[in-house]
């Protein structure tokens, strides 16, 4: 498959304008003013690319029936199994490593400080077990 | 169109995802229903992007929330949104079930739509460019855009899907991708440049494909004695004088 990954080279003004654009922030007037005519055309084309991409990626809407069916299925699972972790269960996966169905893990467990490192977390878990 | 207008969306209104997750874990089914309403459409579109088949996308979106319920108790927020996690579940389901898109566009490439996409992006003067909203509602446009995003490097495609497909703030994208906001900005504007090239390339392919299709149809009609065009030709020139 074609991978269009060549690194584009931008002027500093162009880079500032594009970064403001993707962030949804106002474009710095001085940066916009210092763009060349060609760069302005490029920026305009990229803004239109972003616009049409956003509109297209936000389509299609799922049907109400589809959504209702999925919700009913999920609610039935919730009613049957619940969503809570069993009381007293010790998390077996490190907080910021792959765990669970998403593979992305999550932050620290409720009884852990936010900034606890992976190694500290491991030491504490294994320390507990000893 | 103002070149800088509304390329990104706004924040969620109502209770935060954290509040809704906490209430769901406490047994509040309405809170879960709110999360479902908030994210089902986005999860469905992520699934559709991954597998390019509406039925599979529907199954995957539904299964994503069932999986999420099963693991919600051990989920830990990294940012403020549940969506990156749901998106990963949907992506993994698509991969696990072998429903990944083959890279082939499943609808026929439509030349007028491809022309319109190109005219819109390039701001070609004198060409009848449809309203962007109307253009984006065409199935062919959505396929052209999804196919173009799929040609990007994985991190660029992920950033584009989160920013433009799901209206996530840069801060949340940075958390989800484990990068700084500055790095995400840079990634996104490089992605946009590549996306434009890819979209124009897709439009070019559509044009070539459409031209070939038109030529093939014309040739078929000319050689098919039952076709209207062939009969008209015969009328004018006789059956052996084409």
What percentage of chain A reaches a pLDDT higher than 70? 57
Is A48 close to B123, i.e. CB distance below 8 A? Answer: yes
Is A24 close to B8, i.e. CB distance below 8 A? Answer: yes
Q: Using a CB–CB cutoff of 8 Å, tell me whether A59 touches chain B.
A: yes
Is B196 close to A5, i.e. CB distance below 8 A? Answer: no
Q: Are B188 and B149 in contact (CB under 8 A)?
A: no
ipTM: 0.74
CA atoms of A72 and B141, how far apart (whole Å): 32
| pLDDT of A25 | 87
Quote the minimal CA–CA distance from B237 to chain A in Å.
Answer: 48
Does A85 or B96 have the greater pLDDT score? B96
**With contacts defined as CB-CB under 8 Å, which chain B residues touch A105?**
76
Residue B16 in this model has a pLDDT that exceeds 90: yes
pLDDT-based confidence at A102, cuts 50/70/90? Answer: low
pLDDT tens column, A14-57: 999 998 988 888 888 999 999 999 999 999 999 999 999 999 99
Measured in whole angstroms, the distance separating CA B44 from the mean position of its chain's CA atoms is: 11
| pLDDT of B125 | 66
Tell the residue number behind the tokens 């995400």, with chain if given: B184
Phi, psi of A40 (to 5 degrees): -60, -40
CA atoms of B197 and B117, how far apart (whole Å): 12
CA atoms of B43 and B88, how far apart (whole Å): 10
Quote the minimal CA–CA distance from A130 to chain B in Å.
Answer: 23
pLDDT tens column, B109-126: 567 788 888 888 887 766
pLDDT tens column, B177-215: 999 999 999 999 899 999 999 988 876 665 555 544 444
Phi, psi of A42 (to 5 degrees): -65, -45
Q: Which distant-in-sequence residues (6+ apart) come within 8 Å of B1 by Cβ? A: A48, A51, B132
Residue A84 in this model has a pLDDT that exceeds 80: no
Put simply, the chain A residues between 20 and 39 with a CB less than 8 A from any chain B CB are: 21-24, 27
Q: Using a CB–CB cutoff of 8 Å, tell me whether B180 touches chain A.
A: no
Instruction: Give the per-residue SS3 of A23-55.
Output: HCCCCCHHHHHCCCHHHHHHHHHHHHHHHHHHH
pTM for this entry: 0.70
Instruction: Give the per-residue SS3 of B139-189.
Output: HHHHHHHHHHHHCCCHHHHHHHHHHHHCCCCHHHHHHHHCCCHHHHHHHHH
């Amino acid at each position: 498959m074609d991978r269009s990954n060549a690194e584009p080279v931008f002027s500093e003004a162009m880079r500032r304008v594009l970064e403001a654009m993707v962030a949804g922030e106002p474009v710095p007037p001085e940066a916009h003013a210092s763009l060349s005519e060609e760069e302005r055309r490029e920026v305009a084309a990229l803004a239109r690319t972003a616009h049409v991409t956003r509109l297209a990626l936000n389509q299609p809407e799922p049907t109400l029936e589809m959504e209702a069916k999925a919700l009913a299925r999920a609610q039935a699972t919730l009613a049957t199994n619940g969503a809570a972790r069993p009381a007293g269960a010790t998390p077996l996966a490190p907080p910021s490593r792959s765990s669970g169905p998403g593979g992305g893990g999550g932050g620290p467990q409720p009884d852990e400080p936010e900034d606890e490192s992976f190694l500290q977390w491991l030491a504490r878990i294994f320390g507990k077990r000893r | 169109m103002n070149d800088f207008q509304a390329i990104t969306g706004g924040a969620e209104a109502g209770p935060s995802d954290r509040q809704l997750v906490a209430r769901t874990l406490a047994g509040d089914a309405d809170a879960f229903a709110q999360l479902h309403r908030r994210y089902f459409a986005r999860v469905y579109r992520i699934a559709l992007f991954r597998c390019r088949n509406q039925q599979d996308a529907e199954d995957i979106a539904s299964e994503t929330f069932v999986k999420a319920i099963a693991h919600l108790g051990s989920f830990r927020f990294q940012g403020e949104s549940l969506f990156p996690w749901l998106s990963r579940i949907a992506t993994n389901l698509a991969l696990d079930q072998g429903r990944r898109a083959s890279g082939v566009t499943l609808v026929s490439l439509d030349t007028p739509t491809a022309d319109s996409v190109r005219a819109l992006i390039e701001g070609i003067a004198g060409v009848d460019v449809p309203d962007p909203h109307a253009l984006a509602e065409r199935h062919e446009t959505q396929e052209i855009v999804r196919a173009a995003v799929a040609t990007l490097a994985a991190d660029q495609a992920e950033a584009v899907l989160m920013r433009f497909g799901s209206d996530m703030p840069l801060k949340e994208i940075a958390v989800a991708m484990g990068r700084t906001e500055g790095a995400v900005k840079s990634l996104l504007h490089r992605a946009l440049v590549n996306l434009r090239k890819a979209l124009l390339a897709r439009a070019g392919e559509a044009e070539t494909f459409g031209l070939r299709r038109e030529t093939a149809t014309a040739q078929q009609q000319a050689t098919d004695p039952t076709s209207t065009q062939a009969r008209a030709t015969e009328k004018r020139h006789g059956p052996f004088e084409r």
